[in-house]
Structure 1
Amino acid sequence: MKFIEIILRGVGQVMFQNNYFSGLLFLIGIFYNSWLFGLAAIAGTIISTVSAQILNYSKEDIKNGLFGFNGALTGIAILVFFEPTLGSIVALIVGSLVSTVVMNFLKKIVPPFTAPFVLVTWILIYSLVYIFKFPLETEPSSAIDYSFQIIESSGKSFGQVMFQNNAVTGFLFLVALLINDKLAALYAVYAAVAGSLFGWLFSASFSSINDGLMGYNAILCAIALGGTRKKDLVWITFAIILSTLVQIGLGKTGIITLTAPFVLTTWIVLGLKELEERKKKIAN
């Protein structure tokens, strides 16, 4: 039972929720959209968690699911971009394991967030495509939208945090947040709407906005940077704008963005906050 709780916490930590019931709701949301992605999330989380146990990493971090969430994302991503074949399953296993090693290394230097997932998945995707000639799966193109659908874009923004292009799944993710952290859920809703709006202002297509692609990085930024001070909302708003710009910019280069805009933006904001604190100390 304790191991199952750790695995569920690992899934919950994708959105920084150290709560096994939130993790369970995330899984239910994923399975609602795709049983295959649900199995991939479980497999990735188990592999990365067990790897951390075998490598004798921090027991407290393992208990809190901190070695599970990058594996969960890696597992889903592999089956989002590739058909389930022997080769892609091997990549899922290797990627989930390596994400744990990268996580343990990065956490000694910077707040790793989902950086291990991004780095490992980039290497896997481009290796499979350009070295092993695996065909890259692409999601069927959405019908061209000519209007901004606020409810749809917000719901899918939550879902896209874990590659789920499904508004119902997204709203289940929101419920999972509400159960554990109401303030985080409030910030996340603000980010989903604001990220989509800024995407529109920055001339992103309505199809990408309504599919949640302008909101999911913003949601992660808002949860990661959330706090009870009034100034936290200013930092979150800045992060939403910056992450949306990074998402659009990286997308234009042809790079598969994953959660890189969130990671880069949050590192920048944390650096700016630390610089501000240093200036205050010097001034005092």
Structure 2
Amino acid sequence: MPAAATEAQSAALRTLLRSLGQIVLQPNAFTGACLLAAWLLCDPRLACAALMGAIAANVSAVLAGYREDATRAGLHGFNGALAGLAAFSFIADNATAAAVAILAATGAAWLLEPWSRWLRARDLGFFSSPCLIVTWLWLPLVTRVSQQTAFTAEHTLDATQLSSGLLAGFAQTGFASGALPGLLVLIGIAAASRRHALWALVGAGLASAVHLQFGASASSFEAGLLGFNGALSAIALADCGIAVTLGGVALSVALQTAATYYALPAMTAPFVLATWSMQWFTRRFMRDAAVSEAAECVEARGPVTSPASITSAASVRRAG
């Protein structure tokens, strides 16, 4: 019994840490531990918020009878963790923030299953969209708003400020700030996938450079507000090819710029919308290209007896 209890506790801890790791799209317990360390270093309040949200979401998923393997992979907990972080980031009073965090995390967990089925039917991932939906529902009820990116000309950044601002962008993926917390997050990503870590650096650097080129303030860059959506977009699209990945980063910059202009609390919405757009475009383009190629192949062999012949040939090519 003691051995079984220890194993159960270890499995629960790994599930909790994977839930935190999924915030940066890594189902890895060590990545989650790095994010937890980053929150503790930045503000222990954030660490409590993430743990509270992840636990509430995982418990809700278990009570709702959702798939156990998905829960263990952290898929049900990470939107809860983000919901908790959002609550403590936008609400100053700890008691109110805790209540909202638990309710929002529970709502995100219950929303996830039907919402992910709808998205899966369209070949799209859910990412942080459940947290965004739930947060936008209660956010108008509070007066405290997120820091918006200002577009004003400021001083030139030196090498230290450039590296600090780039790393701070990784901390902002979990509502934290600071170069050292960002470095811990980057280490966590690299521990799970060095390729994803490299793409995250490219995405954060490219997004920050474009924002600065178009007039974003140096203070916003140093706070990490310019790079986090680009980093997440690059990780999510890393397996889709260089052009698609860079296109997703660029689109996330455009969407974040638009949200800033209209003073909207976008959070990670630019990353989610940019990734969905590139996923849809890629699948649509590949499908059309495959159908066209199959049609040319069939035409070279002889007349086509029905439109279904082209579709069938395209499917075989994709499967191959």
Change (3 A) 1:139 1:199: closer
- Closer, same or farther in 2 for the Cα pair 1:266/1:138, shift >3 Å? closer
Give the direction of change, closer, same or farther, for the CA distance of 1:82–1:178 in structure 2 (3 Å limit).
same
Please show how residues 12-161 of structure 1 align to structure 2 within 5 Å. Answer: 12-110=21-119, 111-126=125-140, 128-129=141-142, 135-136=143-144, 145-148=154-157, 149-161=161-173
Give the Cα separation in 1 of the matches to 2:146 and 2:134.
Answer: 20
Using the alignment, how far apart are the partners of 1:257 and 1:116 within structure 2? 14
Give the corresponding residue for 1:249: 258
Q: Among the aligned pairs, what percent are the same residue?
A: 27
Matched pairs, number:
274
Q: What's the offset of the Cα at 1:88?
A: 2.3
In structure 1, what is the equivalent of residue 291 of structure 2? 282
Is the CA contact (8 Å cut-off) linking 2:253 and 2:270 kept in structure 1? yes
The residue type equivalent to 1:241 in the other structure is A
Q: Gaps spanning 5+ residues in structure 1: where?
A: 130-134
Cα distance 1:68–1:85, how it changes in 2: closer, same or farther (>3 A)? same
Tell me by how many angstroms 1:140 deviates: 11
User: Match for 1:182 among 162, 171, 194?
Assistant: 194
> Does the 8 A contact of 1:32 with 1:169 survive in 2?
yes
> CA 1:269–1:141 in 2, change beyond 3 Å: closer, same or farther?
closer
Which digits, 9 at most, give the CA deviation of each residue in 1:224-280, with x for residues without a partner?
1112xxx71211111111101110111111111110000110000000001111112
CA–CA distance in structure 2, aligned partners of residues 101 and 140 of structure 1: 30
- Secondary structure at the aligned position of 2:241 is classed as helix
Deviation string, structure 1 residues 48-105 (Cα, Å, up to 9, x no partner): 0110000001111101000011111111111111113433221111100001112112
Amino acid at match of 2:289: K
Q: Secondary structure at the match of 2:265?
A: coil
RMSD: 1.8
Pairing 1:182-201 to 2, within 5 Å after superposition: 182-201=194-213
Q: Tell me which amino acid in the other structure corresponds to 2:36.
A: L
Q: CA deviation at 1:137?
A: 6.0
TM-score (norm 1): 0.92
Q: Is the 8 A contact 2:149 2:220 kept in 1?
A: no
Name structure 2 gaps, 5 residues minimum.
1-9, 120-124, 294-320
Aligned to 2:274: 265
Q: 1:138 to 1:268 in 2, by over 3 A?
A: closer
Q: Is the 8 A contact 1:202 1:245 kept in 2?
A: no
* Local SS of the residue matching 1:146: coil
- Give the whole-Å Cα distance in 2 for the aligned partners of 1:259 and 1:140: 13
Please tell me whether the aligned partners of residues 39 and 181 of structure 2 are also in contact (alpha carbons under 8 angstroms).
yes
Q: Which amino acid aligns with 1:214?
A: L
Q: Distance in 1 between matches of 2:14 and 2:59?
A: 13
SS at match of 2:230: helix
Letter in 1 for 2:131: F
Contact 1:53–1:59 under 8 Å retained in 2? yes
Q: CA deviation at 1:145?
A: 4.7
Q: Is contact 1:44–1:76 with CA below 8 Å preserved after alignment?
A: yes
Which secondary structure does the structure 2 equivalent of 1:80 belong to? helix
The equivalent of 1:132 in structure 2 is none
One-letter code aligned to 1:19:
N
Q: 1:11 aligns with which of 17, 20, 26?
A: 20
Aligned to 2:234, which of 186, 198, 222? 222
Deviant stretches of 4+, over 2 Å: 84-88, 137-142
Question: In structure 2, what is the Cα distance between the partners aligned to 1:139 and 1:256?
Answer: 9
Distance 1:56 1:141 in 2: 41
Q: Which residue of 1 aligns with 2:304?
A: none
Offset of residue 174 of structure 1: 0.4
Query: What TM-score, normalized by structure 2, do the two folds share?
Result: 0.82
